[in-house]
Amino acid sequence: MNYDSGLQVTCVPFPVGNRIHIALENVFTISRNAYSHGPDSTFVIGGYTPGPHGLDAVIVGHYVGGALHYVARTRNGFTPTSRAKLVRLLKPLETTACPFVNLPEAHSGRWGVGLTAEKMSECRWLRPELVAQFEYLEVTMDGHLRHARYVVLRDDKSARDVVRED
């Protein structure tokens, strides 16, 4: 196999175990390293959408001029353990008011990352207190994150300290 990055991965049937494992590990490493994130990729969790295991996706943002702005909704990066832990932490923070000042959005956008009034009806809103680390591919023209992926909760940073990096 040849990849655009110039890395050539060869899978041979003998010995199967080590060779295939090494090849798949290299492919995973390439795709994981394709995520680029700025010096500060922490975001405030301001909501979530419920799912069969308690949580389908988290809704995140950052502060701009003292107001919380929506930037992404993601369901990527969760393990069963991290999902269960997050659900336990989110439930006590539930509120009826949406904490994001820039919602609802008029349309979902080219990549479907916008949060319209119709999609908002499925959301559960939270007091913006939890901060989490996210990886992402890029920021769109609308200020949304593309291909965001949850990494870990951050208890070393206050939600009010999470501001947009220019």
32-46 per-position pLDDT tens digit: 333 444 434 899 999
pLDDT at 24: 43
- Residue 38: per-residue pLDDT: 45
How much is the mean pLDDT over the chain? 79
Return phi, psi of residue 11, to 5°.
Answer: -105, 120
Is residue 155 located within the same domain as residue 92? yes
Whole-angstrom Cα distance, residue 164 to residue 66?
11
Share of the chain above pLDDT 70, in %: 72
Q: Are residues 103 and 28 in the same domain?
A: no
The Cα 19–Cα 27 span in angstroms is: 13
Give 139's pLDDT tier (boundaries 50, 70, 90). confident
* Segments forming the whole domain that contains residue 86: 42-161
Residues 93 and 49 in one domain: yes
CA distance 131 to 93: 13
69-121 confidence digits (pLDDT tens): 999 999 999 999 999 999 999 999 999 999 999 998 877 766 556 788 888 99
- 156 or 22: which carries more pLDDT confidence? 156
Task: Output the pTM of the full model.
Answer: 0.74
The secondary element (H helix, E strand) that includes residue 20 is helix 16-33
> Which residue do the tokens 């990729």 mark?
41
Question: Residues 66, 140: one domain?
Answer: yes
Output 158 or 21, whichever has higher pLDDT. Answer: 158
Residue 108 has a pLDDT of 73
Domain count, the chain: 2
- pLDDT, mean of residues 143-147: 87
The CATH number assigned to the domain holding 111 equals 2.40.50.140
Q: Which of 137, 111, 140, 110 is nearest to 41 (CA)?
A: 137
Q: Are residues 28 and 102 in the same domain?
A: no
The enclosing H or E element of 82 equals: helix 80-90
Which residue type sits at 149? R
